[in-house]
Amino acid sequence: MTRLRIGAIAAVLLAGVLSLPRPLGGDQALFLYIAKSIDHGSLLYRDLWDAKQPGIYIFYAVAGNLFGFNDIAVHLLELIVMLALAVVLQRTLPDFGFSRRAAALAPIATVLPYYLVAATWDLSQLEPLLGLPLYLGFWTSMRARDSTQHQARWQLAAGACCAIVSIFKLLYLPYGVLFLALSMRRDRRARTAAAWALGFAAAWSPVLIWVLAHSLVHEVWYTWVTFPMTARRQAAQPLSVLTSSARSFGRSFAPVAALALVGIWAHRHRLERWMVLALAWAALALVLDLAQFWWRYLYWDATVPVGLFAVLGAIALADNAREHRRVVLGSLGVVLLLAVYALAPHRQRIAESFPDPTATLRHTDARDDLRALEEPLYGDLDRTLAVLRAPDARPGPVVIFGSPIVQLASGRAQAGRIPGFLANTLGSDEWHDFATQMRSTPPAYVFIGEVQGISESEFLESRGTEVLEILQQSYCGAAHPAAGRWLVQCRDVAQVPGALRRATGNP
């Protein structure tokens, strides 16, 4: 049994090591840039602003301080988290009736698929990172219900785990409510809820103390409550985004989902309480994902419960191999075909990892080729940044209306607190604040590119007219690389809207 455990962990470790040199996507580049700025003394929400809760920035800051502020460091800390999840699953699943063999192999269905089929924009997002605290909240909640002793301690731990999840994303607070509701016993409801609340409050208290200590109550309320209510409406997306992301993730996770359906079917007449809670977890994940921006990385918050049912499905097939040989072989054939289908988009990346799996870690050229393969912007990054690296380039901060990859790679500070990357979510108040920050801290250069195939110029012209006015009056064309266009400050920025236009007589 020890060999099975080690083998499963080794498979996750190998897949994770092969993913270390993979590039950061746009969101992740922004997280790393903000974490690095915080490490250099900037204050989150006041000096630098993003709509996320502080958990993801804490994670990236820890990665940077431990291993360096770069993509490999982020992926390395993520690998440690994933290995911890794999070990925890192996050690705790016997509590739910899993055999030692099934528990030993559980990481193959719950953790390994992430590294095999995750796209660039999936890696190191907060949803896959939350698999560990979500599962710990799930497990401790069930232990609290079933335990005859130390029930309060288990609920205390469950509340703390659920708090960690919400520190990463406040929208995921319903997970904690769900785990609490389905783990409470009628005769101990008040005591159970009190213990859970105490653990929740204890985990949140350092964050709240930090908010109060830096007088950030107004900024935090606006960022966590007010802005999300308007951002979803401002960034309204066509239904094609939902169908595209669902189709993409469905393809990637199809073999695991197929085994999960077998597991659910096999236990349909004898669902245990933990199975009901796991199904509720997966269903709630779908609801919460649909309430957001429909990107495919959001679906990773449901992969642990689906993976657990996939383990049950594999067990059911193994138990019926002799009695229903044809059915089992047919089912395995379908799963195998789905696995080939899921891995097909990643075949070039996987093939290039062999016969030398460490080449992309040891050789800069190989790593650059991998990054360009997964994110074309990296292949054109030198030409994109040439204007900033020229001997006669102007010093000073920049504004990037486009991928934060450009911001991070530029080595320049962001002018103002609001990143241009969020252009599609900004309302009229935020655009006015953006114009104000451009007047108070005029960027030396402005880059206008694309995000998810949509030019940021569209949002400047339709919503950010005050900012567009500043660009038209005070900035001139500097370069036009394939990824977008650069503007350089060529005149003073007027401190009052329309002041320069009135002074020069320009229309």
**Cα gap 162→154, rounded to integer Å:** 12
Residue 138: name the closest of 161, 117, 120, 116 by CA: 161
Residue 234: name the closest of 449, 469, 463, 438 by CA: 463
Calculate the dihedral angle through the C-alpha atoms of 108, 111, 115, 121, rounding to the nearest 10 degrees.
150
The gap from C-alpha 183 to its chain's centroid, in whole angstroms, comes to 28
The average confidence (pLDDT) of the chain is 91
* Model pLDDT, residue 350: 77
Calculate the dihedral angle through the C-alpha atoms of 205, 208, 214, 219, rounding to the nearest 10 degrees.
170
For residues 6 and 505, the model is more confident at 6
CB atoms under 10 Å from CB of 371, counted, come to 22
The residue-averaged pLDDT of 423-452 equals 92
**Cα gap 252→303, rounded to integer Å:** 11
**Cα gap 405→427, rounded to integer Å:** 24
* Model pLDDT, residue 317: 92
The residue-averaged pLDDT of 436-453 equals 92
For 68-122, how does the pLDDT look when each residue is reduced to its tens digit (9 = 90+)?
999 999 999 999 999 999 999 999 999 999 999 999 999 999 999 999 999 999 9
**Cα gap 489→237, rounded to integer Å:** 33
* Model pLDDT, residue 192: 85
For residues 404 and 351, the model is more confident at 404
pTM of the predicted model as reported, rounded to 2 decimal places:
0.94
Domain spans, the chain: 2-345, 380-504
Distances in Å between the Cα of 228 and the Cα atoms of 171, 231, 297, 364, 448 are 10, 5, 19, 40, 25
Check whether 500 has a pLDDT greater than 60.
no
For 168-214, how does the pLDDT look when each residue is reduced to its tens digit (9 = 90+)?
999 999 999 999 998 887 777 888 899 999 999 999 999 999 999 99
* Model pLDDT, residue 185: 77
The CA-based angle 342-343-349, given to 5 degrees, is 145
Q: What confidence category does residue 499 fall into, taking pLDDT thresholds of 50, 70 and 90?
A: very low
CB 120 within 8 A of CB 23: yes
Check whether 159 has a pLDDT greater than 60.
yes
**Cα gap 167→151, rounded to integer Å:** 24
E strand or H helix at 451? strand 445-451
For 35-76, how does the pLDDT look when each residue is reduced to its tens digit (9 = 90+)?
999 999 999 999 999 999 999 999 999 999 999 999 999 999
Check whether 507 has a pLDDT greater than 70.
no
Q: Which two tokens stand for residue 345?
A: 């988009």
* Model pLDDT, residue 1: 66
